[in-house]
């Protein structure tokens, strides 16, 4: 890879892009200032401020680069094109990439990742009710899990291996499609343009939020995304005269077998048909496309998997698509836009050049462009219409499949624009934007992968607390016999049964939710001597008022969590506080408190759980408890919690 300069550009457009990109990365899309709109960038708040500033500086310098080069822009030209390095050497990048994917695999599980691992650990193909949501993916996952279990390994390793394998498939497809498009003669009226070199497409297709799927991602979408894009690559190869159409159909059927979401790209295959041979080609596509789905269904049936129960929706899902009013909701569009920006960091640029392409008759005569446009339309329809059960920011990977195809479409249009409009102001503006925008996308992707590798983000769900037990380091109830209790006096005349602090359980009458608690009648202070782990950790607590005392009156109970390092003169620091009042309906039930302990990592401290009388200092009926008093590894992810004052 080498640097070269080319042509006249609009310096101002590059500088503006550099400033905007730098601001988005350095401020985490405004989240550093409390602006919670652009959640596509919110993961950056878990990156240290110096790192974010370094990211911003990198994009800013890329925007200022034309000034440094006296008005000429810089591009990377390819050293991996077929004319510079023998063909086999290019594929040596694949094992290197696989190793990188494995070493930097994610530690944060998104969507139903926790549930996926639980199913693989406790169910089989014959008992899992969800296998028809992703038939071939389930077949591979359970088979690989069984093999690895025999060697003492876990479902997490099986899923991570599937993810890395998908990454290798995707990278091979990127290499192939970049080479094929860069050789297309109808587009290359000016083949010396750097945007026509394979590296232009390779960088663009790797600098995606969707690339997180290759780094040991635990979910159902890695293989379908990789094989769906590989289908696109083969389709481009077919249009270039290099690939038979039956191979395109075969891989298209494979991708749909991994997950039915790939079906949204299938209508675009009709754009591959030639007028004179359309019927024969259509039959070839149909027959070859049914081979893998047919084998998958036959294999699952042979292995004893029950047929899906269509009376219960599609694999238990009663609503696969949003209704029309739901699609039109502004909140839905905003979430969809954030999701698109996350998986395709240059989405604003591709939408802009896509609008321009609508009016280019010459471009519409290009078979590759027509096919890529069909795929892009299919993915955008899916992106806007498919109904996700989880909040979009948790379920972003359900739509990661949109990123590669949408980006390839945008890259193709951008390259055409630059090649066919060498001296227009529009071309100069786009040329000035290329370097800072690609730098922005690369740094965005690097930071996205880094945060998910170095940080274990957890937002525990109490209705799935058994799944999150894998992150539990300690149950504080086990330390209760050695805890210092103040005052250590009973709350009534009988010492037996009137302990101020005890290990009990509360059951909420409204839903029957029972949880073990450290009972602590106010006023009470329970101090544990705790060795804080030498890793990110937090307390997961469920403070609550005892339901038996809800009708006893009183002014409520104030719950406090404090820490005092065990060192002479160390101050006590209040970490969390909240007052619950029995006359407030919202306070009658389990509350949630996620209290980070990263500031005390590796230290020995006194951890103090205190229950105090309410504002009127009235301790009548102040029966209270700390439910699920768990010390957890990881970093609590409270980005999307409703704002709540720590003291009320």
- pLDDT tens readout for residues 53-67: 999 999 999 888 766
Q: How far is CA 589 from CA 525, 545, 593, 595, in A?
A: 22, 7, 13, 19
Kindly state whether residues 202 and 331 are assigned to the same domain. Answer: yes
Indicate the number of domains in the chain: 2
pLDDT, residue 583, reads 86
| Residue 194 within a domain | yes
What global pTM score does this model have? 0.90
Which residue, of 420, 446, 471, is where some domain finishes?
420
Kindly state whether residues 105 and 253 are assigned to the same domain. Answer: yes
d(Cα 458, Cα 51) in Å, to the nearest integer?
22
| 8 A C-beta contact, residue 630 and residue 539 | yes
Check which CATH number belongs to the domain holding 539 and give it. 2.60.120.1060
d(Cα 106, Cα 231) in Å, to the nearest integer?
26
| Residue 30 within a domain | no
Kindly state whether residues 489 and 632 are assigned to the same domain. Answer: yes
pLDDT, residue 186, reads 47
Kindly state whether residues 162 and 309 are assigned to the same domain. Answer: yes
pLDDT, residue 81, reads 38
pLDDT, residue 92, reads 81
Kindly state whether residues 390 and 502 are assigned to the same domain. Answer: no
| Residue 184 within a domain | yes
d(Cα 177, Cα 408) in Å, to the nearest integer?
9
Kindly state whether residues 403 and 469 are assigned to the same domain. Answer: no
| Residue 42 within a domain | no
Measured between alpha carbons, how far apart are the two ends of the chain, in Å?
59
**Edge-first strand listing for the sheet containing 604-613:** 484-486, 524-531, 604-613, 557-565, 573-580
Closest by CA to 346, choosing from 447, 221, 228, 205, is 205
Q: Where are the alpha helices (DSSP H) in 69-213?
A: 87-90, 93-103, 113-122, 135-150, 155-182, 198-206
Kindly state whether residues 372 and 507 are assigned to the same domain. Answer: no
pLDDT, residue 72, reads 46
The range of the structural domain enclosing residue 222 comes to 78-420
d(Cα 394, Cα 44) in Å, to the nearest integer?
15
Kindly state whether residues 406 and 470 are assigned to the same domain. Answer: no
Kindly state whether residues 390 and 519 are assigned to the same domain. Answer: no
Residues of the chain below pLDDT 70: 1-10, 66-90, 184-196, 421-424, 427, 493-497, 642-648
pLDDT, residue 102, reads 97
pLDDT digits (tens, 9 = 90+) for 563-580: 999 877 789 999 999 999
| Residue 568 within a domain | yes
Kindly state whether residues 500 and 362 are assigned to the same domain. Answer: no
Kindly state whether residues 362 and 472 are assigned to the same domain. Answer: no
Kindly state whether residues 185 and 90 are assigned to the same domain. Answer: yes
Q: What are phi and psi of 111, to 5 degrees?
A: 55, -125
Which residue, of 351, 386, 420, is where some domain finishes?
420
d(Cα 503, Cα 520) in Å, to the nearest integer?
9
Sign of CA dihedral 328, 331, 337, 339: negative
| Residue 215 within a domain | yes
| Residue 622 within a domain | yes
| Residue 643 within a domain | no
Which residue, of 393, 420, 447, is where some domain finishes?
420
């Amino acid at each position: 890879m080498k640097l070269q300069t080319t042509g006249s550009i609009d310096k101002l457009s590059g500088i503006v892009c550099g400033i905007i990109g730098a601001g988005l990365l350095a401020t985490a899309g405004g989240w550093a200032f409390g602006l919670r709109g652009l959640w596509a960038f919110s993961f950056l708040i878990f990156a240290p401020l110096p790192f974010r500033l370094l990211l911003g500086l990198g994009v800013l310098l890329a925007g200022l680069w034309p000034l440094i080069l006296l008005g000429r822009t810089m591009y990377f030209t390819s050293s991996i094109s077929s004319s510079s390095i023998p063909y086999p050497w290019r594929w040596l990048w694949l094992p290197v990439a696989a190793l990188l994917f494995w070493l930097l695999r994610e530690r944060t599980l998104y969507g139903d990742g926790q549930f996926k691992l639980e199913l693989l650990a406790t169910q089989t193909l014959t008992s899992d009710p969800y296998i028809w949501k992703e038939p071939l993916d389930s077949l591979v996952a359970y088979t690989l899990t069984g093999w690895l279990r025999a060697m003492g390994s876990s479902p997490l390793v099986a899923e991570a291996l599937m993810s890395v394998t998908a990454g290798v498939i995707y990278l091979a497809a990127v290499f192939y499609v970049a080479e094929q498009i860069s050789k297309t003669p109808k587009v290359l009226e000016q083949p010396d343009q750097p945007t026509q070199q394979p590296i232009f497409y390779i960088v663009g297709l790797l600098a995606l939020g969707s690339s997180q799927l290759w780094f040991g991602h635990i979910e159902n979408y890695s293989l379908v995304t990789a094989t769906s894009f590989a289908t696109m690559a083969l389709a481009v190869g077919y249009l270039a005269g290099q690939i038979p159409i039956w191979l395109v159909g075969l891989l298209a059927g494979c991708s749909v077998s991994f997950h039915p979401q790939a079906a949204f790209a299938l209508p675009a295959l009709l754009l591959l048909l030639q007028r004179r041979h359309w019927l024969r080609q259509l039959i070839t596509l149909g027959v070859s496309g049914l081979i893998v789905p047919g084998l998958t269904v036959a294999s699952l049936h042979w292995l004893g998997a029950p047929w899906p129960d269509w009376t219960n929706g599609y694999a238990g899902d009663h609503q696969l698509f949003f209704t029309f009013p739901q699609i039109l909701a502004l909140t839905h569009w905003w979430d969809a836009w954030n999701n698109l920006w996350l998986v395709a960091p240059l989405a604003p640029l591709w939408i802009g050049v896509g609008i321009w392409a609508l009016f280019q008759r010459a471009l519409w005569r290009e078979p590759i462009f027509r096919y890529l446009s069909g795929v892009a339309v299919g993915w955008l329809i899916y992106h806007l219409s498919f109904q996700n059960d989880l909040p979009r920011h948790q379920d972003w990977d359900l739509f990661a499949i949109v990123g590669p195809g949408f980006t390839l479409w945008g890259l193709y249009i951008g390259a055409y624009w630059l090649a066919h409009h060498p001296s227009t102001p529009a071309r100069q503006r786009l040329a000035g934007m290329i370097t800072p925008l690609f730098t922005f996308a690369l740094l965005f992707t690097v930071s996205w992968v880094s945060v998910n590798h170095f940080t274990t983000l957890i937002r525990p769900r109490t209705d799935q607390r058994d799944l999150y037990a894998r992150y539990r380091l300690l149950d504080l109830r086990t330390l209760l016999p050695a805890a210092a209790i103040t005052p250590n006096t009973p709350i009534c005349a009988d010492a037996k049964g009137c302990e101020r602090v005890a290990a009990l359980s509360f059951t909420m009458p409204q839903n029957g939710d029972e949880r073990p608690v450290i009972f602590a009648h106010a006023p009470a202070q329970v101090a544990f001597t705790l060795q804080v782990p030498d890793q990110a950790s937090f307390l997961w607590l469920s403070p609550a008022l005892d339901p038996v005392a809800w009708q006893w009156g009183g002014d409520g109970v104030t719950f406090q969590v404090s820490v005092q390092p065990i060192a002479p003169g160390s101050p006590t620091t209040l970490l969390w506080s909240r007052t619950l009042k029995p006359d407030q309906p919202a306070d009658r039930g389990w509350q949630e408190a996620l209290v980070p302990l990263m500031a005390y990592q590796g230290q020995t401290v006194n951890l103090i759980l205190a229950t105090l009388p309410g504002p009127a200092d009235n301790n009548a009926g102040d029966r209270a408890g700390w439910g699920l008093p768990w010390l957890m590894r990881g970093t609590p992810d409270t980005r999307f919690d409703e704002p709540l004052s720590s003291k009320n």
